[in-house]
């Protein structure tokens, strides 16, 4: 019980620290918004009756949002806290490591929610993004967000254990995310990519998360355009769970409280 | 009651370099114990093994009757009883002093009142300041506040006053002596000999991973037995005399002058002189 209570107190501290660092707020929250504005302004052509190309790209933007708030944020934030002594100081207190990770999960969850909310709001108001109304689609959206965020979070912690220094972290993490975005159907239409690129992307979770989000934002008739001619929701869940398990294992092995 | 800290034949190497080469010592409860030594002597490695941050190669270690290298699920209960002030940090820059001390107080089962701790370390005026705006000395006092907010039985202080101005150091010493008066055991590493002299009940001088001597500050290196130097002005120059019986020699000297002995100084070797001789002797 106490572990949970302190976990929520950690969450509060994490969020305070996040909101007070203007760079991280801009980087995490407004960068996706900026991309949405650019993409929404450029891709105005219609890809099916009543469906604009921007509807295709909002799926990728939201999937990317989950990667930003979990993987990218933690893989930079945790090595930084390791370098500045924050983690070592915490390790010297009776605080349970579980409380620490509850705090990080709260941070990821809140930044993720804000990103998704901003994207849907601005997309819906200014770029004619059609927001689903059916409850089954929303249910699908929720499990994709929860599973995707969980996966993104543990992979961020695992990556943080591999990265040597906080200062060098963005230089390692940002290109990984960028390349994944290019090959996973976030910046380009996935079906227009060369097949080797598609096969490479299919190893990583972002491709599957993006595909899942397409099943939320595009009409069912678009399923036929996917590689398997269906949304493959079962396989998406399977791949994400596999990455979640692998990521949890890696994170528990690689996590370090201090530099040496 | 058993000793607060017991170390026997502690060893730790980094590659071929033996950082700690067989240290044994016992620290009693309620004692202020200083570890002195040059940079690289093995002070921080030793202390970090005691704090549970580093693994040792061999030897036995007991801190509050537990082995810090094998805490397992008892780690949290053990850490509840100790306070750690590490060397320089720059974390939590965007939080305020009050937020941080209050937050850390929740980790402990018997915390002190966070506001009185903030007052005790002299940061009341800075309680709502962001930590990044604090000076080096204020930041260090915050580190101490976080180390003591859980009412620790043992407090580890690793070079606590580095970067303090003289006034802040005096204030800090008073704080440490107040903690000792409450019964806290304190293990201090420092470069400053005056600090060890002002605070410590006992000091251990270590160099190259080995203990050279353990003594009280007053008797270290036979300091209390050392000869005094008497100097004065006579015949237009400074005269010096090494004396085993300075009181008698000064009385004799006084007979040669009418009134004051010009520029009389009687000195004994300072702790620093003794320490430097000991470290030199090792080379």
Segment B243-257, tens digit of pLDDT: 888 889 899 888 888
What's the burial of A53, exposed, middle or buried (CB within 10 Å: 0-12/13-18/19+)?
A: middle
- Both ends of chain B: CA-CA distance in Å? 40
Whether B96 contacts B103, CB under 8 Å: no
Q: Which of A81, A84, A94 is nearest residue B79 as measured by Cβ atoms?
A: A94
- Per-residue pLDDT, averaged over B179-200, amounts to 92
Chain B hits for A5, CB-CB cut-off 8 Å, are: 106
- Per-residue pLDDT, averaged over B120-142, amounts to 91
CA distances from A28 to A18, B93, B216, B219 (A): 10, 19, 57, 61
Chain A hits for B109, CB-CB cut-off 8 Å, are: 94
* Cβ-Cβ contacts under 8 Å for A92 (sequence gap 6 or more): B51, B52, B53, B79, B82, B84, B86
Tell me what percent of the residues of chain B surpass a pLDDT of 70: 99
pLDDT at A108: 95
pLDDT digits 0-9 by tens, B67-81: 999 887 788 999 999
Whether B229 contacts B266, CB under 8 Å: yes
d(CA A156, CA A72): 6
d(CA A147, CA B273): 66
Q: Do A86 and B92 touch (CB under 8 A)?
A: yes
Chain A hits for B105, CB-CB cut-off 8 Å, are: none
Q: Which of A195, A167, A200 is nearest to A76 (CA)?
A: A167
pLDDT at B283: 60
Position B147 pLDDT exceeds 90: yes
Tokens found for residue B37: 């030594």
H/E segment holding residue A211: helix A205-217
If you compute the radius of gyration of chain B from its CA atoms, what whole number of angstroms results?
A: 22
Whether B50 contacts B42, CB under 8 Å: no
pLDDT at A174: 92
d(CA B78, CA A201): 47
Tell me what percent of the residues of chain B surpass a pLDDT of 90: 58
pLDDT at B116: 94
What residues of chain A have any CB closer than 8 angstroms to a CB in chain B?
5-6, 9, 13, 16-17, 20-21, 81, 84-86, 88-89, 91-96, 257-258
Q: Which of A81, A95, A258 is nearest residue B53 as measured by Cβ atoms?
A: A258
* Cβ-Cβ contacts under 8 Å for B239 (sequence gap 6 or more): B231, B232, B233
- Indicate if the alpha-carbon torsion angle B8, B9, B13, B18 is positive or negative: positive
Phi, psi of B165 (to 5 degrees): -80, 165
pLDDT at A1: 67
Q: What is the DSSP letter of B96?
A: B
pLDDT digits 0-9 by tens, B19-66: 999 999 999 999 999 999 888 889 999 999 999 999 999 999 999 999
pLDDT by residue for chain A (260 residues), tens only, comes to 699 999 999 999 999 999 998 887 887 777 878 888 888 888 888 888 878 888 888 999 999 999 999 999 999 999 999 999 999 999 999 999 999 999 999 999 999 999 999 999 988 888 888 888 899 999 999 999 999 999 999 999 999 999 989 899 999 999 999 999 999 888 888 888 888 998 999 899 999 999 999 999 988 888 888 888 889 999 999 999 999 999 999 999 999 998 86
Q: If DSSP codes are grouped into helix, strand and coil, which group holds residue B189?
A: strand
H/E segment holding residue B214: strand B210-215
Q: Do A21 and B89 touch (CB under 8 A)?
A: no
Angstroms from A175 CA to nearest CA on chain B: 27
pLDDT at B99: 96
- Per-residue pLDDT, averaged over B80-109, amounts to 92
Helix axes A205-217, A169-183, angle to 10 degrees: 50
Q: Which of A129, A124, A115 is nearest to A32 (CA)?
A: A115
Whether A148 contacts A205, CB under 8 Å: yes
Whether A70 contacts A149, CB under 8 Å: yes
Give Dmax (Cα) for chain A.
Answer: 61
- Per-residue pLDDT, averaged over B162-183, amounts to 87
The architecture in CATH of the region B1-81+153-163+177-220+270-283 reads: 3-Layer(aba) Sandwich (3.40)
d(CA A72, CA A172): 10
d(CA A120, CA A131): 7
Whether B68 contacts B10, CB under 8 Å: no
d(CA A241, CA B269): 71
Angstroms from A127 CA to nearest CA on chain B: 36
Whether A218 contacts A62, CB under 8 Å: no
């Amino acid at each position: 019980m106490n572990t949970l209570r302190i976990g929520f107190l950690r969450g509060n501290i994490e969020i305070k620290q996040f909101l007070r660092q203007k760079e991280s707020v801009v980087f995490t929250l407004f960068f996706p918004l900026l991309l949405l504005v650019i993409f929404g302004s450029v891709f105005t052509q219609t890809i099916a009756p009543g469906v604009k190309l921007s509807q295709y790209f909002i799926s990728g933007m939201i999937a990317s949002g989950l990667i930003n708030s979990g993987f990218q944020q933690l893989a930079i934030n945790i090595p930084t806290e390791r370098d500045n002594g924050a983690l070592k100081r915490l390790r010297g207190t009776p605080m349970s490591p579980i409380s620490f990770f509850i705090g990080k999960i709260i941070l990821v969850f809140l930044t993720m929610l804000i990103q998704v909310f901003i994207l849907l709001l601005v997309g819906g108001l200014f770029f004619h993004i059609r927001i689903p109304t059916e409850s089954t689609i929303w249910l699908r959206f929720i499990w994709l967000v929860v599973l995707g965020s969980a996966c993104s979070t543990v992979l961020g912690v695992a990556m943080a254990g591999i990265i040597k220094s906080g200062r060098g972290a963005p230089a390692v993490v940002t290109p990984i995310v960028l390349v994944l975005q290019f090959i996973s159907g976030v910046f380009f239409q996935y079906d227009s990519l060369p097949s080797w690129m598609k096969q490479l992307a299919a190893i990583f979770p972002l491709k599957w998360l993006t595909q899942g989000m397409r099943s939320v934002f595009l009409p069912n008739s678009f399923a036929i355009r996917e590689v398997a001619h269906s949304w493959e929701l079962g396989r998406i869940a399977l791949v994400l769970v596999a990455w979640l398990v692998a990521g949890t294992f890696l994170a528990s092995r690689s996590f370090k409280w201090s530099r040496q | 009651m058993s000793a607060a800290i017991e170390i026997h034949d502690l060893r730790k190497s980094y590659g071929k370099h033996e950082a700690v080469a067989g240290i044994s010592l016992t620290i009693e409860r309620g004692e202020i114990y200083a570890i002195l030594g040059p940079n690289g002597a093995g002070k921080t490695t030793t202390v970090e093994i005691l704090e549970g941050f580093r693994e040792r190669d061999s030897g036995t270690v007991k801190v509050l009757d537990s082995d810090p290298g094998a805490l397992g699920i008892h780690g949290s209960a053990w850490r509840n009883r100790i306070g750690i002030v590490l060397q320089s940090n720059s974390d939590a820059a965007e939080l305020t002093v009050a937020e941080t001390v209050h937050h850390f107080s929740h980790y402990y089962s018997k915390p002190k009142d966070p506001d009185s701790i903030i007052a005790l370390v002299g940061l009341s005026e800075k309680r709502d300041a962001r930590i990044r705006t604090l000076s080096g000395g204020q930041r260090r006092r915050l580190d101490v506040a976080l180390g003591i907010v859980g009412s620790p039985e043992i407090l580890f202080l690793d070079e606590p006053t580095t970067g303090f101005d003289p006034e802040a150091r005096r204030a800090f010493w008073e704080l440490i002596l107040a903690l000792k008066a409450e019964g806290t055991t304190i293990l201090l590493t420092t470069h400053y000999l005056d600090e060890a002299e002002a605070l410590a009940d006992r000091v251990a001088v270590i160099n190259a991973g080995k203990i050279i001597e353990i003594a009280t500050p007053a008797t270290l290196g036979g300091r209390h037995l050392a000869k005094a130097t008497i100097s004065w002005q006579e015949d237009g120059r400074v005269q010096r005399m090494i004396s085993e019986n300075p009181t008698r020699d000064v009385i004799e000297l006084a007979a040669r002058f009418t009134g004051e002995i010009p520029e009389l100084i009687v000195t004994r070797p300072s702790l620093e002189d003794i320490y430097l001789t000991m470290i030199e002797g090792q080379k």
